[in-house]
Chains A and B, each alone.
Chain A
Amino acid sequence: MTEPSRPNPDALLAEIQREEQSAKRGQLKIFFGMSPGVGKTYAMLEAARVQKAEGVDVMIGVVETHGRAETEALLAGLPIIPRKKIDYRGVTLQEMDIDAILARRPALVLVDELAHTNAPGSRHPKRYQDALELLDAGINVFTTLNVQHLESRLDVVQQISGVVVREAVPDSVLDQADEIELVDVTPDQLRKRLAEGKVYLGERAATASENFFREETLTALREMALRTTAEHVDQELRDVMRTKRIGAPWKSGQRLGVGVGPSPFSGQLIRWTRRIAAAMDAPWVAVYVETSAALSEDEKRRLTKNLSLARQLGAEVVMTTGDDVASALLAAARDQGVTEMVVGKPSGNRLLELLQGGSLASRLIQRGGDIDVHVVSGATRTGAPKRRPWTQDVGINFLRDCAAGVGAVVAATGVGWLLQGVTGYAAISLVYLLCVVLLAMVLNRWAVLLVAALSALAWNYLFIPPLYTFRITSAHDLMMFSMFFVVALAMGHITHQLRTRETAERRRERRASALNRLLESVTASASLEDGLARAVKEVDALFRSRTVILLATAEGRLEEAPHPASTFSVDAKERAVAAWTFERGQAAGRFTDTLPDAQGLYLPLQTSKNKLGVMGIHFEERNTWTLDENDLLETFAGQIAVMIESYRSIETAQQARVAEESERLHRTLLDSVSHELKTPLAVIGAATDGLDTQLKDAGLPLTETFLDEIKAANRRLNRIVTNLLDMTRIDSGRLPLNLEWGEARELLESAVSQVENEVSRERVHITVPEDLPLVRLDFGLMEQALCNLLVNAVEHSPAATSIDMSAQLDGATLLLRIRDHGPGLAAGEEKKVFEKFFRGTGSRPGGTGLGLSIVQGIARAHHGEIDAKNNPAGGAAFTIRVPVETTARPS
């Protein structure tokens, strides 16, 4: 059974999520060209003007016109957000003001020259990162880009044009573009424009550009630009086909792998793999094999750069350890399901390769089994880096190790000299052997080989007869000598291997135990404060750093003051970095791409559910930060976040218990008070009802009048008691809202029917728009509020006049208004009427002065407000404003 056209549900889900994501994200449109001068900025401005004419809120974030009149003419009418001035070493630089754009929130912003590098001290080192942040904020972006600035094309452009391009934009940015518009002119036209001086060449001008604008170069660049655009269109087509289930461009499960190391050549390999992977529509993995060889600071930096390049270009990065690079690579590749492996063409030392059992490429091919191996050339290309001097190759410690080795051989020789008389020359070899084995435990591999060779020679020269020659005469000695040599080499090698394994083991062990210590101290902690203090201590000890913890408040903002467990404090500038980290949930600060000039490195403390705060690390003395360390720190941050979350939830549970308990007590008290007060009222009410029925036909007019008096007094007393109890409940601050969906019209009508005894239905006019959606309120409480307002309106207006009630929505605020046609409020009483026990002028006797305070309490419980005004046309108008959730009205 084959199922040719059924897309994988996970892939579909990812596609849907991507669509949802991009619905919230801004749309990115890139005006793409082969070189400067093709008219990208011009095309972008024209497109922006079209948008503007359609009523879109367009603003210019940054546009470089390079003084060209035609381009400048297009700027007219497009508002510009002023650039931010940045002082850098006495020079004032101007950069796009990303904060101003985010604050202004236009629908579309123009960001020229995506590859631009920002002035030091800007939020992001690169302008494309600014653009990504704008997109994340839901702002659409138009931008321009030349093909030579595309990360994966850098080296090819360099080869073609000989110009070194430094400003690069990762290909993933291009992938995120919703639309790419190719701005194309023929090389001939471009050269003509160049001759007419219409092309801006930058400050460096002529010399480089001569090369760059040669016809062959331009043709090559043009082809590259066209192909890139075509690939992107292809990708889009595939996306469409996948979602719409057209046909089956389902590639078999191809997966590419590339070995990454500290060599600059690795970068080229990574870019090559990314291109092939994109063409094959296959995912790819970058594998780094950590060997026992120590890396220099330079190498560490390059490795980190290469790995982050791979990440930027969309690779999954995998790290593994092993001294046999080929086996480790293949093991990782099999784990990851890699079907094709990319490796560089051998370029190194043949002898060395022979010793290792062939070059890396040939070993991969030999042992690769069903994994296809691509061998990519690189080292012979123009501009490829030269091999480093051999001393650097084996590390800084090499010469020192060799010196130590020579010294040790001399010492062993001395010992041998002394023992010679006692033991004979054969036993001396054991002294040398001991020396080799001992040195293998401390020196590097090459120094050990040197020691082995040197001691063999020294033994031969100084001890094996004939003395002081390298000649060996007897077969016995020859055998001894060769055996010694082989044994020394083997012992040295094996001991060395054992040692490196042990070192790697110890490092893993250290990591594991650091994590373990953190977990233990966290579990042993008695409180959040204690737990954080312990965690900070562990972090500081492990990374030789100082740490600051900023926790989130209940409202989801970052607390002003650092947590007391912190071992350093942040100034306003550092706090801004921490705030960014918190908002975005991404690491920022030192050793990252965002705000790298900051003093500290900031990591979000978050779990899948909650943002809990930020952890900042401040290093005293440190210039490098490896991925390995970063991983460990992230794991720590994760654990600390989990700890905070669990303490928080314990806290919440306790608070809830206390609140519940006091709520229960309060309710019991209120219940018994209402019981005591209302029972007699109920008795009086029912008794008068009973009397009423009995006396109805008795024809005693006075009795009926007395009864009516009793009933009215009873109703009044009942209202007072109810109001007093309600006020007590509201004052207690425990007025839990029972929010439900409902219709505003229903609310108004049911309020009117509740007070039918006091107001006749005909006096009240209700206005509610037909299309008012359902709203979410505590309908019981809100009805009570409206009843009180209605009773108030009746008391303060003549019997014949009408009372207007209305409900309407103003954005997300519900407005409930009741207006009477009485004399209105006395001047200065607009606020006072809501005070407790306040009795307005002209109030009839019998009120408690609580009705309106209760209304206010109910409005506030809904996070809203109420105000009272005199209507210009007469009468008082009361308006309740409450924020509400609404539904789109279903048909």
Chain B
Amino acid sequence: MTAERTVLVIDDEPPIRRLLRLTLEPQGYRVFEADNGQLGLQEAAARRPDVIVLDLGLPDMDGLTVLKRLREWSQTPVLVLSVRDREADKVAALDNGADDYLTKPFGTEELLARMRAVQRRAPEAQEEPVFVSGDLAVDLAGRTVTVKKKEVHLTATEYALLHELVRHAGKVVTHAQLLRAVWGPNSEGQSQYLRVYITHLRKKLETTTSGKLIQTEPGIGYRLLASE
């Protein structure tokens, strides 16, 4: 077992907090709790947790506000866990710095998988030059992509898109984030480009055996599957 990881749960519902503690502690997490936003921010500063699980409907302030305040000084991964299931809510949370989003009710297994994904650091060319998921391998230093050991030729745009997905592998990346990263800051209205390139990428990367590598989150964005 690796060194003990810490998690901060910010939620006003005691049963949810209790359940999360019961679920997470056996997985090796040390759990801190906060039942409102203000306390949540204090705890985040004091405990410096490895990951934060945040509810959006808090009694004293909106979860989005907590997220924005937190992002002013901290890059701690945040998983939002909320009953709000509209895409607009999800996109707002993700665009304000949340690393992933899960709606209540949730499956325990899925929660654990998402928590692992958000804690994985974005691979950078210097440290972890090759990203591997299933048949796909992306050499970030050499900028080469192989599927089943065979090199695949990508255009500059396709590569930029894949690179952005790899950087957030396992996490959902919103349309706006992808457009900004690949096409620049003023491209947010042009989501049809994105669809076209995602289609191209899928055609080139997904073989019949590999299944879906790039998952669609309707109305929100895309997620690149990361092998555990």
Q: Contact residues of A with B, CB < 8 Å?
A: 671-672, 674-675, 678-687, 689-690, 693, 714, 718, 722, 736, 738, 740-743, 746-747, 750, 753, 774, 778-783, 887, 890
Contacts and interface: CB of A to CB of B under 8 A. Distances in A.
Interface centre among A682, A743, A750 (most CB of B within 10 A): A682
A714 B105 contact: yes
Given A682-B106, A718-B105, A741-B191, A780 B19 contact: no
B87 A738 contact: yes
Contact of B108 (A693, A714, A783): A693
B45 interface: no
Interface in B170-199: 175, 191-192, 194-196, 199
A371 B104 CA distance: 84
B23 interface: yes
B26 to A, nearest CB: 8
Contacts of A693: 108
Nearest to B104: A682
B175 A740 contact: yes
Given A690-B19, A738-B88, A774-B192, A685 B218 contact: no
Given A674-B83, A679-B13, A738-B87, A747 B218 contact: yes
B22 to A, nearest CB: 6
Contacts of A687: 19
A489 to B, nearest CB: 75
Contacts of A736: 88
B191 A783 contact: no
Contacts of A675: 57, 83
A746 B191 contact: no
Nearest to A688: B108
B108 A780 contact: no
A693 B88 CA distance: 34
Interface string B104-141: 11111101000000000000000000000000000000
A80 B220 CA distance: 57
A743 B199 contact: yes
Given A674-B83, A679-B13, A890-B196, A686 B106 contact: yes
Contact of A779 (B84, B108, B219): B219
Closest 8 CB pairs of A and B: A780-B219, A741-B192, A689-B108, A682-B104, A682-B105, A685-B105, A779-B218, A678-B83
A738 B174 CA distance: 14
A780 B216 CA distance: 11
Interface centre among B19, B22, B107 (most CB of A within 10 A): B19
Given A682-B104, A685-B106, A780-B86, 14 more contacts: A671-B57, A671-B83, A674-B83, A678-B104, A682-B83, A682-B105, A682-B106, A690-B22, A741-B192, A747-B218, A753-B212, A779-B219, A780-B219, A782-B218
Contacts of A682: 16, 83, 104-106
B196 A774 contact: yes
A801 B218 CA distance: 28
A743 B88 CA distance: 20
Contact of A690 (B57, B108, B175, B195): B108
Contacts of A686: 16, 19-20, 23, 105-106, 108, 111
A671 B22 CA distance: 27
B219 A774 contact: no
Contacts of B111: 686
Interface string B14-32: 0110011011000000000
A778 B212 CA distance: 22
A741 B19 contact: no
Contacts of A753: 212
Contacts of B199: 743
B92 to A, nearest CB: 12
Contacts of A671: 57, 83-84
Interface centre among B13, B19, B212, B219 (most CB of A within 10 A): B219
A671 B89 CA distance: 11
B219 to A, nearest CB: 3
Interface string B68-109: 000000000000000111111000000000000000111111
B219 A746 contact: no
Contacts, number: 89
Interface in B186-224: 191-192, 194-196, 199, 212, 216, 218-220
A750 B107 CA distance: 19
Contacts of B106: 682, 685-686
A173 B49 CA distance: 79
B195 A743 contact: yes
A686 to B, nearest CB: 5
A783 B16 contact: no
Contact of B83 (A679, A740, A750, A781): A679
A54 B106 CA distance: 65
Nearest to A715: B105
Nearest to B19: A686
B104 A679 contact: yes
Nearest to A754: B218
A890 B57 CA distance: 43
A675 B69 CA distance: 24
B218 A783 contact: yes
Contacts of B107: 685, 689
A690 B19 CA distance: 9
Nearest to A751: B218
Contacts of A742: 195
B157 to A, nearest CB: 12
17 contacts: A674-B83, A674-B84, A678-B83, A678-B105, A681-B105, A682-B16, A685-B106, A685-B107, A690-B19, A690-B23, A741-B194, A750-B216, A750-B218, A774-B195, A774-B196, A779-B218, A887-B192
Given A671-B84, A674-B83, A690-B22, A780 B104 contact: no
Nearest to A680: B15
Interface centre among A674, A683, A686, A687 (most CB of B within 10 A): A686
Nearest to A722: B85
B45 to A, nearest CB: 27
Contacts of A747: 218
B3 to A, nearest CB: 24
B83 A746 contact: no
A305 B23 CA distance: 92
B219 A738 contact: yes
Contacts of A887: 192
Contacts of B219: 738, 740, 778-781
A683 B16 contact: yes
A358 B122 CA distance: 92
Contacts of B19: 683, 686-687, 690
A852 B47 CA distance: 49
A778 B111 CA distance: 27
Contacts of B83: 671, 674-675, 678-679, 682
Contacts of B192: 741, 774, 887
Given A718-B105, A750-B216, A780 B191 contact: no
B80 to A, nearest CB: 14
B194 to A, nearest CB: 8
Nearest to A784: B218
Contacts of A781: 219
Contacts of A782: 218
A689 B83 CA distance: 18
Contacts of A685: 105-107
Nearest to A692: B108
A674 B175 CA distance: 27
A678 B85 CA distance: 11
B216 A679 contact: no
Contacts of A774: 192, 195-196
Contacts of A740: 175, 191, 219
Contact of B16 (A679, A743, A750, A890): A679
B57 A689 contact: no
Contacts of B175: 740
Contacts of B195: 741-743, 774
A684 B106 CA distance: 10
Given A686-B19, A774-B192, A780 B57 contact: no
